[in-house]
Amino acid sequence: MSRTRSHAQAQPSSPPPPVARLALTGDLARPARLTVSDLHGWRQHRTRVAFECRTSGVQHHCFEGPLLYDVLRDAGPGFDPARRKDRLRFLIAVSGADGHHTLLSWAEIDPDFADAPVLLAVAIDDTPLDRAGPQLVLPQDRCGARYVSGIEAIRVDGGYEPAR
């Protein structure tokens, strides 16, 4: 019997890369930490987009994922039913792993108002985003500046004072 080990046995296996997690926080009844895999639990939408990128010109991609509206609605935004049109004062702040941030209003994604089909993409051009994290996709935007890759956090905020 030989005492030599095969090369595969001699090398320790490296752990798999960590799975990206997205924190839903703020004025929500059910804040959560979600993975791309978790986002498959919502109805998936597929959209082809073209947007301008200042550094690399017009980009064409196909994205798939749930609507941001559906995911946030299920987290229970803290709208006050006693205040008429309360949801219109809520903002949505999105932060990516690379430090990119953007802001949307609740009215942009709400079906009763702008009804923009904003996605939390779980795949780009049929490539899963499990390790990189979801991407914010705004098909209505001509410029790609609000497309946030590797989303780490989404904060829903209705707690600011109105301008006077």
Q: Could you read off the pLDDT of 95-141 as tens digits, one per residue? A: 999 999 999 999 999 999 999 999 999 999 999 999 999 999 999 99
Q: How confident is the model at residue 161 (pLDDT cuts 50, 70, 90)?
A: low
pLDDT of 20 reads: 84
Q: How far apart are CA 24 and CA 4, in angstroms?
A: 51
The larger pLDDT score, comparing residue 15 to residue 25, is at: 25
Burial 83-106 (b: 16+ CB within 10 A, else e): eeeebebbbbebbbeeebebebeb
Q: Which residues contact 126 (CB under 8 A, 6 or more apart)?
A: 62, 64
Q: Which residues contact 1 (CB under 8 A, 6 or more apart)?
A: none
pLDDT of 17 reads: 64
The larger pLDDT score, comparing residue 13 to residue 99, is at: 99
Extract the tokens encoding 163: 């301008």
The larger pLDDT score, comparing residue 2 to residue 139, is at: 139
pLDDT of 107 reads: 96
- Strands (E) across 84-163 are located at 91-96, 101-105, 119-121, 123-124, 127-128, 135-137, 151-157
Pairing, β 127-128 against β 123-124 = antiparallel
pTM of the model: 0.86
The average confidence (pLDDT) of the chain is 90
pLDDT of 115 reads: 97
Average pLDDT over residues 40-61: 93
